[in-house]
């Protein structure tokens, strides 16, 4: 049989996925394959496009390599735009020539819709679609202070986050009365608006832009139909997409009334030799704007070309789970209750910022749809009920209410049928996963490589992990303790690799011992390990991309987008002069003040740009960072001890101050709290702390691995009547052994509970030095103590680090007018009522 020509127009995610699927079929041997991409870059992941502003490069986002195309024998024509299709001659036309085809696949995708607003073509009016678009946005942001996104949908909110990450004051303008009008209802949209505004993005709903003209204080001015206006330095249009169907239109293919290349269930157009997949295709009067349906079309077409007579595209689930500017949002099935007879159950916790809506069938037996804002915890369970028609429990509301005794349990892996869809992007069912495990896939990474599950949007990662681990355990396989898919090691093993090999950056570690770009699990964990090992500044250039918000800005973000400042007060002892300074700073910046449970003063309500100014004033008065934002030593609480108390037998304040000064800045798997009591009356509550010290007539008793919080645990008596030197040496060893061997985000109490041999084993290691590690643990602690630096002081003295705290570039720093305040008990606090 003679070789035929297969041409694919479009090298985006869907076009690339089709090529991956098709070259794996026997039919591929019958074709000479060529692909044309308008962009000069290899296909890349548009789902994670925003990572491009977080130091990701095209190589990081690329879906394939030049070598892969070469190995598959695919002719790759990048930067070569197809300008026409001659159906009579069966050729496609480009600026470089003509190319014959026997089968032609249109995977041209979509283009951003720009509303027909007068002035939309002005300089600094941009779109958010390609890496070139993002480069243009980055260039436009130079010298700018404010940016506006037109469109409050998924991409619009991603674009707003991108503007915020570039240091701009970000605004979102939405024509509809709520954000994400397709996915959310009024209550969900209202909560999302509130949460996003609390994070510093201004939202303007029900705004129709009538014209874009030159601004007075900024580059541009947006005129609204209600006689209002908004000035900005750049505008990003993200008001939806339109199918890229110009080639098909010019070639005379059948299109929908509003665009889109009409296809049947086999993705065939009105010309039997031409096919269409992805966002350019119109199936049953619908355009699918998510990657998962496009992938399903790609698989269907590959199977059809391979001779599978039953291959058919029959629609796709449009459920979505994502984080928008750090806010959980989920939408499942018939989220708006359009089905006849549908009934809704709503749970709205305004204080916690959680909104959940279930849409159920008229008989109350089936879940039709759901909306989640603020907490996606129930998403996986609800999705499986909806997709698989699983009968709802007797009281379905328990699926969205906070968990309590007697409530419906989460839907475990065993409750899912074999047909349950785990990954909609790649159409992977529970049965596919079981089949992969039975075929030899022995861990999560192998299952992902075999099935492609969770390699699309990644929203099914938690559910996939649960199913894989459950199935492996049922087969008697020991489940991997790998920290995540990017590192085939536990946290303890990663710590060992970092320490022994002297690794000082995440990139070095992942290049030598991991794979991929990392994730929200391994990046902060490695940041903690690096800090525990080398004690470098948290804002060192190579460490910044690893940190969460609190660590990045060395302050705790509060519910309204402001920050709290907690200076260290060792042992709770503070002079009158320092107290006066705290009062002066709080008064100058209008900060709410509160004494914490750890005997410190917490200052609430500082803006990002105010942080360095506040730190400077506190440092000048002798304060240091209290590390309230980090997984590190927080406080050492104390009573007044023998200095004042008639019952005290030791100087508990002096010992508390010494211990806090010694271990301040120590980074660990979880936060650590100490307390020192001057006698057995225990006024400092030492036995509820990670490290508790109680004075005796002969020295100090040491208690370890206790904690308060959601799951209180009484600390265990570890050693008695220790001298000062013995106490410090023992604590050194316990803490460093914990840091080296605990799991990610594991408190000392849980660590001890999971430590094989428990308390007795820990005593052998620490007190008897059964592993011969004692001197090494002490030396490592001494290194940490000797390299301590106040992270606040190092930041305010470094102009480059200080730049990170500018909210508005090249503009005066000012209070955010969106943040609403009220006065209560003579102090300013944020408004908690609905202010929309």
| Least confident stretch, 105-119, 151-165, 734-748 | 151-165
pLDDT number for residue 807: 63
Q: Please check the confidence at residue 212 and state whether its pLDDT lies above 90.
A: yes
Q: Are 689 and 674 in contact (CB under 8 A)?
A: yes
SS3 letters for 632-696? Answer: EEEEEEECCHHHCCCCCCCCHHHHHHHHHHHHCCCECCCCEEEEEECCCCCCCCHHHCCEEEEEE
Q: What is the structure's pLDDT at 404?
A: 47
Could you tell me if 423 and 456 are in contact, meaning their C-beta atoms sit under 8 angstroms apart? yes
Going by their DSSP bridges, the two strands 4-9 and 31-37 should be labelled as parallel
At residue 146, the pLDDT reads 95
Instruction: Please give the pLDDT value at position 468.
Output: 85
pLDDT at 407: 47
Higher-pLDDT residue of 811, 509: 509
From residue 58, alpha-carbon distances to 48, 68, 661 in Å are 11, 16, 45
Per-residue HEC secondary structure of 679-713 comes to CCCCCCCHHHCCEEEEEECCEEEEEECCECCCCCE
- For residue 710, pLDDT beyond 70: no
User: Does the structure show a pLDDT above 60 at 405?
Assistant: no
**pLDDT surpassing 80 at residue 17:** yes
Whether pLDDT at 40 is above 80: yes
Q: What is the mean pLDDT of residues 642-649?
A: 90
* Residue 490 zone, left/alpha/beta (φ > 0; ψ -120 to 50; rest): beta
The pLDDT, as a whole number, for residue 560 is 76
Ranges 167-171, 743-747, 829-833, most confident:
167-171
User: Please, what sign has the CA dihedral across residues 391, 395, 398, 401?
Assistant: positive
314: nearest Cα among 270, 247, 279, 263 = 263
pLDDT of residue 376: 84
Confidence of residue 621 (pLDDT cuts 50, 70, 90): very high
Mean pLDDT, residues 664-688 taken together:
93
| Confidence band for 569, pLDDT divided at 50, 70 and 90 | very high
Instruction: Tell me the H-state helices in 58-150.
Output: 58-61, 66-71, 131-141
HEC string of 746-776 equals: CCHHHHHHHCCCHHHHHHHHHCCCCCCCHHH
Considering only 43-47, 184-188, 326-330, 828-832, which range has the smallest mean pLDDT? 828-832
Confidence of residue 711 (pLDDT cuts 50, 70, 90): low
More confident residue, 359 or 57: 359
8 A C-beta contact, residue 185 and residue 346: no
What integer is the mean pLDDT of 179-193?
A: 91
Token pair in block for residue 506: 């995440």
Residue 436 predicted with pLDDT over 50? yes
pLDDT digits (tens, 9 = 90+) for 243-300: 999 999 999 999 999 999 999 999 999 999 999 999 999 999 999 988 889 999 999 9
% of residues, the chain, pLDDT over 70: 95
Whether the predicted pLDDT of 836 surpasses 70: no
Q: Enter the DSSP assignment of 440.
A: T
pLDDT tier at 460 (50, 70, 90 boundaries)? confident
Q: Which of 520-524, 689-693, 724-728, 761-765 has the lowest mean pLDDT?
A: 520-524
Which residue's entry shows tokens 């699990």? 521
- 213-223: average pLDDT: 95
Residue, of 742 and 470, whose pLDDT is higher: 742
Nearest Cα residue to 399 out of 373, 370, 425, 420: 370
**Residue 189 backbone dihedrals phi, psi, to 5 degrees:** -65, -35
Lowest mean pLDDT, pick from 88-97, 105-114, 807-816: 807-816
Tell the residue number behind the tokens 């100087």, with chain if given.
651
Mean pLDDT of the chain: 89
pLDDT interval class at 1 (50, 70, 90):
low
Question: Who contacts 479 (Cβ-Cβ below 8 Å, separation ≥6)?
Answer: 469, 472, 473
- Residue 12 DSSP code: S
Lowest mean pLDDT among 326-330, 347-351, 442-446: 442-446
- In this structure, the strands spanning 592-595 and 563-565 are unpaired
Q: Which pLDDT does position 406 carry in this prediction?
A: 44
- Per DSSP, the residues of 93-108 read EETTEEEE-SEEEE--
pLDDT tens per residue across span 715-766: 999 999 999 999 999 999 999 999 999 988 889 988 988 787 889 999 999 9
């Amino acid at each position: 049989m003679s070789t035929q020509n297969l041409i694919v127009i479009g090298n985006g995610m869907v076009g690339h996925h089709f090529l991956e699927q098709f070259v794996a079929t026997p039919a591929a041997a019958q074709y000479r394959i060529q692909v044309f991409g308008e962009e000069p870059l290899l296909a890349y992941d548009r789902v994670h496009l925003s990572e491009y502003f977080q130091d990701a490069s095209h190589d990081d986002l690329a879906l394939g390599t030049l070598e892969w195309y070469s190995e598959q024998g695919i002719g790759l024509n990048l930067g070569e735009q197809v300008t026409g299709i001659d159906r009579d001659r069966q050729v496609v036309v480009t600026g470089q020539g003509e190319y014959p085809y026997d089968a032609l696949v249109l995977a041209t995708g979509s283009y951003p819709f720009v509303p027909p607003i007068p002035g939309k073509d002005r300089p600094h009016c941009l779109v958010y679609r390609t890496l070139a678009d993002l480069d243009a946005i980055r260039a436009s942001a130079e010298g700018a202070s404010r940016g506006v996104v037109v469109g409050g949908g998924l991409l619009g909110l991603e674009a707003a986050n991108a503007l915020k990450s570039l240091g701009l004051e970000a605004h979102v303008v939405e024509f509809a009365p709520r954000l994400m009008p397709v996915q959310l209802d009024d209550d969900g949209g209202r909560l999302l608006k509130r949460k996003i505004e609390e994070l510093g993005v201004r939202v303007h709903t029900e705004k129709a832009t009538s014209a874009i003209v030159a601004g007075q204080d900024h580059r541009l001015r947006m005129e609204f139909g209600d006689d209002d206006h908004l000035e900005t330095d750049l505008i990003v249009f993200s008001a939806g997409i339109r199918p890229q169907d110009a080639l098909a239109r010019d070639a005379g293919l059948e299109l929908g009334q509003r665009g889109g290349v009409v296809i049947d269930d086999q993705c065939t157009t009105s010309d039997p030799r031409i096919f269409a997949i992805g966002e350019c295709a119109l199936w049953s009067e619908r355009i699918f704007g998510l990657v998962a349906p496009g992938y399903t079309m790609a698989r269907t077409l590959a199977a059809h070309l391979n001779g599978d007579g039953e291959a058919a595209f029959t629609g796709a689930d449009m459920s979505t789970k994502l984080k928008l500017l750090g806010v959980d949002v989920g939408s499942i099935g018939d989220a708006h209750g359009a089905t006849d007879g549908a009934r809704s159950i709503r749970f709205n916790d305004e204080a916690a910022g959680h909104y959940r809506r279930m849409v159920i069938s008229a008989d109350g037996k089936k879940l039709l749809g759901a909306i989640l804002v603020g907490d996606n915890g129930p998403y996986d369970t609800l999705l499986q009920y909806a997709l698989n028609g699983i009968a709802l429990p007797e009281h379905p509301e328990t699926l969205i209410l906070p968990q309590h005794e007697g409530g419906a349990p989460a839907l475990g892996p065993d409750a899912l049928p074999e047909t349950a869809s785990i990954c909609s992007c790649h159409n992977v069912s529970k049965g596919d996963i079981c089949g992969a495990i039975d075929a030899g896939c022995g861990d999560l990474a192998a299952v992902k490589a075999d099935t492609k599950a969770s390699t699309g949007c990644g929203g099914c990662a938690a559910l996939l992990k649960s199913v894989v681990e459950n199935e492996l355990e049922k087969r008697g396989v020991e489940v991997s303790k790998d920290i995540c898919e990017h590192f085939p090691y536990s946290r303890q093993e990663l710590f060992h690799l970092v320490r022994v090999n002297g690794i000082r950056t995440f990139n070095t570690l992942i290049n030598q011992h991991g794979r991929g770009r990392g994730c929200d699990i391994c990046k902060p964990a490695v940041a903690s390990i690096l800090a525990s090992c080398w004690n470098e500044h948290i804002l060192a250039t190579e460490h910044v991309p690893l940190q969460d918000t609190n660590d990045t800005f060395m302050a705790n973000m509060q519910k309204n987008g402001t920050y709290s400042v907690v200076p260290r007060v060792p042992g709770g002892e503070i002079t009158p002069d320092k107290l006066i300074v705290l009062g002066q700073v709080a008064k100058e910046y209008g900060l709410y003040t509160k004494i914490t449970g750890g005997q410190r003063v917490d200052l609430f309500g500082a803006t990002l740009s105010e942080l360095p100014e506040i730190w400077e004033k506190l440092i000048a008065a002798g304060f240091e960072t209290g590390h309230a934002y980090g997984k590190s030593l927080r406080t050492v609480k104390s009573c007044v001890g023998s200095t004042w108390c008639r019952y005290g037998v030791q100087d508990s304040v002096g010992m508390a101050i010494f211990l806090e000064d010694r271990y301040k800045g120590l980074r660990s798997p979880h936060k650590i709290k100490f307390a020192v009591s001057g006698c057995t009356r225990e006024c400092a509550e030492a036995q509820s702390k990670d490290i508790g010290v109680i004075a005796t007539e002969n020295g100090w008793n040491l208690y370890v691995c206790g904690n308060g919080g959601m799951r209180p645990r009484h600390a265990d008596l570890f050693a008695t009547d220790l001298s000062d030197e013995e106490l410090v040496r023992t604590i050194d060893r316990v803490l460093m052994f914990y840091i080296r061997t605990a799991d990610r985000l594991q408190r000392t109490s849980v660590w001890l509970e999971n430590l094989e041999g428990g308390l007795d084993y820990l005593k052998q290691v620490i007190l008897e030095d059964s592993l011969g590690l004692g001197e090494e643990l002490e030396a490592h602690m001494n290194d940490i103590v000797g390299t301590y630096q106040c992270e606040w002081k190092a930041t305010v003295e470094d102009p480059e680090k200080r730049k990170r705290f500018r909210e508005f570039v090249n503009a005066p720093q000012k209070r955010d007018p969106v943040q609403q305040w009220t006065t209560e008990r003579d102090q300013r606090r944020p408004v908690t009522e609905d202010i929309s």
